[in-house]
Amino acid sequence: MTKKIEASPLGTYRAYLQKEQLAYQYSPEAGRAVFFPRLVCPFSGSTHLEWRVSKGLGEVHASTVVYPKDAQPYNVALIELDEGFRMMSRVEDMDPHNVKIGQRVRVRFVVEAGAPAPLPVFVPQEEENND
C-alpha cells in the first residue's frame, strides 16, 4: 500500500498563486481564517484546516515607506483582507507616500524575476458608482 504524499501548505498556497488566486486556510474549530499557510491552527491546535480563496478585497491596516539606496521609494503595507486575515504586501499604482490607513484595496498579481510564484500586491479599489 502506498501512502499519498500531499503538497506542503506553502506548495498549495503557491499553486493557487499560479492560478492568480489568493488562498488562505480556515480553521473550523477556531471559526477563523489562518494565514500564512501552516500545518497546525495557531488558535486551536487543530490540524484540520480548509483551503479557501479570498475575494482579494481589504483595507490598509498599516503602511510605511522604504527608501532604498539608489532606487525609488516604495511602501510596505499590512493589508487586512475582508475574510479576516492580514498579510504583508505593497500598494501599487499610487505614490507610496499617499497610501492611507483604512484605504480600500484589491489584489493584483505580478510576476517578478526569481519569485517562485506570482506575488499578490494591492492597488486602490475604485469606488463603485451607485447611480
Residue 129 pLDDT > 60: no
pLDDT digits (tens, 9 = 90+) for 81-110: 999 999 999 999 999 999 999 999 999 999
Residue 37, C-alpha cell as written in the block: 499557510
| Cα–Cα distance, 31 to 44 (Å, whole number) | 9
On whether the CB atoms of residues 88 and 122 are closer than 8 A, the answer is no
Residue 107, φ and ψ in degrees, nearest 5: -75, 150
Q: Which residue's C-alpha cell is 505580478? A: 110
- pTM higher than the cut 0.85: yes
pLDDT digits (tens, 9 = 90+) for 21-46: 999 999 999 999 999 999 999 999 99
Q: Which helix (H) or strand (E) holds 78?
A: strand 74-81
Residue 67, C-alpha cell as written in the block: 527608501
Burial class (CB in 10 A: 0-12, 13-18, 19+), 79: buried
